[in-house]
Structure 1
Amino acid sequence: MQPVHDAGFLQPQTETKKNAHPNYLKWTILTLIAAVNGYATILMYAQGETAFALLTVFLTALAVFIFGSNKTYAHRYIYPGIAGMIIFIIFPLVYTVGLAFTNYSAANQLTLERAQSVLMSRTYQSGTAYGFDLYNTANGYRVVVKDGDQLLQTGTLDLANLPSEPVTLVDSTSFDGKKAPIKEIVQNRTALSKLLLTLPDGEEIRMSGLRKFAAEGPLYTLQSDGETLYNNREQTYLKPNHEIGYYQQIDAEGQFVGKPVSPGFVVNVGWDNFHRVLTDDGIKEPFVGIFIWTVVFAFLAVALTLAVGMVLACIVQWEPLKGAGVYRVLLILPYAVPSFISILIFRGLFNQSFGEINMMLEAMFGIQPNWFSDPLMAKVMIVMVNTWLGFPYMMILCMGLLKSIPEDLYEASAIDGAGPIQNFFHITLPMLVKPLTPLLIASFAFNFNNFVMIMLLTNGGPNMLNTSEPAGYTDILVSYTYRIAFEGGGGQDFGLAGAIATLIFLMVSGMALLNLKFTKLSQD
């Protein structure tokens, strides 16, 4: 009995030894991944990309936890999906919302330390300017500097391989070579700008123009507090204004005066961007108008595409209709062609001077609508083009749902003497609307953010006047946000764009919740 007992006792130990090697391999791989990502995190943090560094740390820690523990074995199969959702959905959303509470823009995108470094790298002409000429000799170039009536020259220089130390100028009354024209100086300006010359009195000068060298000094000097800058040229002090995100001059009492100095730096402005949307007339008025147009456009897009698609679906499903298959294919073609191609074609067709549509309207009715310069006609054009592009989708949906309606209902209706129109409004429409409701809400949300349609067809135009940020009569909220972020006249205002994007997200989220509610009701 003893051997049997020993065999039973030793079997788990053998299995443990077999499983030890995979564990060592697994933890070795996880450790290497963590080390590489840790190094990448340090580099990102050193570059000031704190948000991306935190994202890398979180995803790495999550991966080690899921793949390192046996209790989370099932989650390792969905980790790629979770990581993708965090990277491409949650992180951009959180990052955008975070930008909404800052002054981040084209002029304010550096950290305070980086903005301070840029300012301290600036120089100014701190001494006398000296004219110069460039002479081309057989062995290279000579720079001849004019100090009053005195001429000072360098030795022969190879502009492609300049010395790293300063070049001393020596007094000379004669020199060889041919005087280079201004064109040749321009061609060698990059090399000449790196040349540092020393006058006989020890003063160092650099190229400060196409025809002069001058002594240069640092424009700003950092003070002992680590923040204050002293302007050596104007003899004034500047401090960082954390309310607006710029360095600004201060007076004797420490109050900010004068104009801000670029570049600025990123600061937290709280709810100021949202407050601007609600109070700044140059933003509030176009925002309200664009919001109303966005809702109207999305509603018309859903209503018209549904109406056209449902009617056409009923027609092509009509049994007495011959060649129904051909009609189905022809009516689906607008949906099969990439939308951006169709939009660009329509842009040409609606051309006010040479478009075929205006040519036909002028020949038939003697009119030439201003499709792109008149706000109302531009909106009508957008609705028509969007209806053309969207009705095939609704027609396909309705064609499928029509198959689910019991034929018994139509047979009973025929016995009662009802016609096709009565059948449509009392049987077909009620039976289609309920399952279509969630899809209609989704279509509304899509058209609410139909960026491609607006930007390719009208680019938001015609533009509104007297606005703080670029805005057009056909802009919808998403295109308006894009133009603020990338076409801002006063500097690309990403903070304000982030605030509007946050408001759009809240609106679309509300639609999504409404969609889920109707989906649940339809299932019940």
Structure 2
Amino acid sequence: MQSVQGAEFLEDPKTTSTFNYRQWLKWSLLGMIGAVNGYATVLMYAQGEIPFALLTVFLTALALYIFGSKKTYAHRYIYPGIAGMVVFVIFPLIYTVGLAFTNYSASNQLSIERTQSVLQQRTFLSGKSYGFDLYQVANGHQLVIKDDGQLLATDVFDIANPFDEAMTLHTVTGVEGKKATIKTIIQNRTALNQVELAMPNGNDIRMSGLRKFAAESPLFTLQEDGLTLLNNQTEQFYKPNMEIGYYQPVDANGEFVDKPISPGFVVGVGTANFERVLTDDGIKEPFFGIFVWTIVFAFLAVTLTLALGMVLACIVQWEPLKGSGIYRLLLILPYAVPSFISILIFKGLFNQSFGEINMLLEAMFGIKPSWFSDPVMARVMVVIVNTWLGFPYMMILCMGLLKSIPEDLYEASAIDGAGPIQNFFKITVPMLIKPLTPLLIASFAFNFNNFVMIQLLTSGGPNMVGTSEPAGYTDLLVSYTYRIAFEGGGGQDFGLAGAIATVIFVLVSGMALLNLKFTNTKLEQD
């Protein structure tokens, strides 16, 4: 008994030693990852990127918990998927919804502290301007300032490496050297802009033009309250308007007057962006029109591609048809070609003046439709192109599902005297719709947000008239949001775009839930 215990005692140190080594290696690696991500988090926070800093902290803490605990051993295999879902789905969604409640735009991207810093860096000419000449002398260059007939010159300096401190000007009677041409001044303007000259009266002057130096002073000075800015040129006080996110002049009573100044800063605006969507006629009318068109387009995209793909699948699967393999290959080719290439080709084919489609229609029927300028024809063109791009996918699906339909059904139908058309609507369509339903829902969601096709083919045009934000008759909600975010006439209005994106998310989520509920109900009935 003692010998057995002794043997176990001898084996334990080895096992313990191996275990400790693995533990030490694991925790060293986790500690290194935590330290690196912690440092990255501090840098993000210092740069004002608080949402990204919080995201990094969350993912790092989750990784350390999952990989550091034995209880969560199984979760380490799904952590990459969880991290990807958080980074690419949940975080963008939360970030977009957050933007919807702010005034974030091209003019309002900074914090109020950063805005103060930018404004305080602005300068204005606060004194007299002086003409100057640049002379090339034996050991370098000299700057000569003309002050009421008096010549003031700097010491000789290297123009490629000007002094960091202000160079003192001395009174001289003349300068021995070659006067530089305006071309030389232009070539060295970057270096001369860095030169600061100290006048005998104590003023510092800097280059303010190709032929002038002048005294510059800070345009704004931050006051003791840490918020108010004083315009040193006009003696006007500016205070932050927290409702619009800009610094704005104030009167003696502290009331805001005149126009605000840029850049602005980010502030919360509550539900103002959502209210604009519902109350601003320049946004409300195109929004609801585009929403209806988006639903119609997605429905037509699914219906037409399914109908065409199903019919063609039945034809190429017809046994008496000779050369069916060649037909299958030709019909699948549109799916094999990258969609953006096909879209650009169709854009040329539908060209109103030189496109082959209009040339053919004019020769046969004497008509030349305005595909890109007429709202109805533009939408017809979009549906046609999308049907061409989408039917091969539906055809491939139907070709595979057709083989799963029992031949006995068609034989029994033939005995009853049914023809091909009756078989198609009574047997083929019902047998295909049920397994295709989830794919049709996915296709509807894809076409609901089919940004690439709209952007490449029409860019949303033709444009609507009288809208507050850019909107077109072929715009889908996703392309309409993109245009507001990046093409807005009043600046890139990311806050409004975020509000519309949030509305789209709610609408699409609602339709998806209704579709799933309808599908589950139908499956239970079947």
For 1:292 and 1:498, the matched residues in 2 are separated by 20
Match of 1:71 in 2: 71
Please report how far the alpha carbon of residue 148 of structure 1 lies from its aligned counterpart in structure 2 after TM superposition: 2.1
Corresponding residue pairs, total: 524
Mapping of residues 34-113 of structure 1, within 5 Å:
34-113=34-113
The one-letter amino acid of 2:150's match is Q
2:124 equivalent to 1:124: yes
Match of 1:262 in 2: 262
Mapping of residues 399-418 of structure 1, within 5 Å:
399-418=399-418
Please report how far the alpha carbon of residue 87 of structure 1 lies from its aligned counterpart in structure 2 after TM superposition: 1.1
Q: Do the aligned partners of 1:438 and 1:518 also contact (CA within 8 Å) in 2?
A: no
For 1:382 and 1:457, the matched residues in 2 are separated by 8
For 1:337 and 1:48, the matched residues in 2 are separated by 44
Match of 1:369 in 2: 369
Match of 2:498 in 1: 498
Match of 1:512 in 2: 512
2:449 equivalent to 1:431: no
Mapping of residues 3-18 of structure 1, within 5 Å:
3-7=3-7, 15-18=15-18
Match of 1:177 in 2: 177
For 1:383 and 1:269, the matched residues in 2 are separated by 39
For 1:241 and 1:292, the matched residues in 2 are separated by 38
For 1:179 and 1:35, the matched residues in 2 are separated by 60
Match of 1:379 in 2: 379
Task: Name the CA shift for 1:180/1:37 in 2 (closer, same or farther; >3 Å).
Answer: same
Compute the TM-score of the two structures, normalised by the length of structure 1.
0.96
Mapping of residues 433-452 of structure 1, within 5 Å:
433-452=433-452
The one-letter amino acid of 2:128's match is T
For 1:492 and 1:70, the matched residues in 2 are separated by 49
Please report how far the alpha carbon of residue 519 of structure 1 lies from its aligned counterpart in structure 2 after TM superposition: 5.4
Q: Do the aligned partners of 1:125 and 1:214 also contact (CA within 8 Å) in 2?
A: yes
For 1:303 and 1:56, the matched residues in 2 are separated by 44
Please report how far the alpha carbon of residue 247 of structure 1 lies from its aligned counterpart in structure 2 after TM superposition: 0.9
Please report how far the alpha carbon of residue 282 of structure 1 lies from its aligned counterpart in structure 2 after TM superposition: 1.4
Please report how far the alpha carbon of residue 30 of structure 1 lies from its aligned counterpart in structure 2 after TM superposition: 1.0
Q: Secondary structure at the match of 2:159?
A: coil
The one-letter amino acid of 1:377's match is M
Match of 1:302 in 2: 302
Please report how far the alpha carbon of residue 325 of structure 1 lies from its aligned counterpart in structure 2 after TM superposition: 0.9
The one-letter amino acid of 2:79's match is Y
Match of 2:341 in 1: 341
For 1:82 and 1:273, the matched residues in 2 are separated by 32
Q: Do the aligned partners of 1:220 and 1:231 also contact (CA within 8 Å) in 2?
A: yes
For 2:444 and 2:72, the matched residues in 1 are separated by 40
- Superposed CA deviations along residues 25-45 of structure 1, whole A, max 9, x for unmatched, are 211111111111111111110
Match of 1:190 in 2: 190
Please report how far the alpha carbon of residue 402 of structure 1 lies from its aligned counterpart in structure 2 after TM superposition: 1.3
For 2:93 and 2:116, the matched residues in 1 are separated by 30
Please report how far the alpha carbon of residue 12 of structure 1 lies from its aligned counterpart in structure 2 after TM superposition: 5.7
For 2:81 and 2:6, the matched residues in 1 are separated by 47
Q: Secondary structure at the match of 1:243?
A: coil
Please report how far the alpha carbon of residue 7 of structure 1 lies from its aligned counterpart in structure 2 after TM superposition: 4.3
The one-letter amino acid of 1:373's match is S
The one-letter amino acid of 2:213's match is F
Q: Secondary structure at the match of 1:460?
A: coil
For 1:401 and 1:203, the matched residues in 2 are separated by 87
For 1:269 and 1:321, the matched residues in 2 are separated by 66
CA RMSD of aligned residues (A): 1.7
For 2:478 and 2:7, the matched residues in 1 are separated by 72
Larger displacement relative to structure 2 (374-383 or 10-19): 10-19
Q: Secondary structure at the match of 1:432?
A: helix
Task: Name the CA shift for 1:298/1:127 in 2 (closer, same or farther; >3 Å).
Answer: same
Please report how far the alpha carbon of residue 117 of structure 1 lies from its aligned counterpart in structure 2 after TM superposition: 0.5
Please report how far the alpha carbon of residue 518 of structure 1 lies from its aligned counterpart in structure 2 after TM superposition: 5.2
Q: Do the aligned partners of 1:107 and 1:262 also contact (CA within 8 Å) in 2?
A: yes
Match of 2:489 in 1: 489
Please report how far the alpha carbon of residue 505 of structure 1 lies from its aligned counterpart in structure 2 after TM superposition: 1.6
Please report how far the alpha carbon of residue 180 of structure 1 lies from its aligned counterpart in structure 2 after TM superposition: 3.0
- Of all paired residues, the percent bearing the same amino acid is 75
Larger displacement relative to structure 2 (19-28 or 115-124): 19-28
2:145 equivalent to 1:145: yes
Q: Secondary structure at the match of 1:467?
A: coil
For 2:522 and 2:471, the matched residues in 1 are separated by 40
For 2:516 and 2:8, the matched residues in 1 are separated by 57
Match of 1:165 in 2: 165
For 1:429 and 1:225, the matched residues in 2 are separated by 75
- Superposed CA deviations along residues 326-348 of structure 1, whole A, max 9, x for unmatched, are 11111010011000000000111
What are the ranges of 5 or more consecutive residues in structure 1 without an aligned counterpart?
A: none
For 1:522 and 1:403, the matched residues in 2 are separated by 23
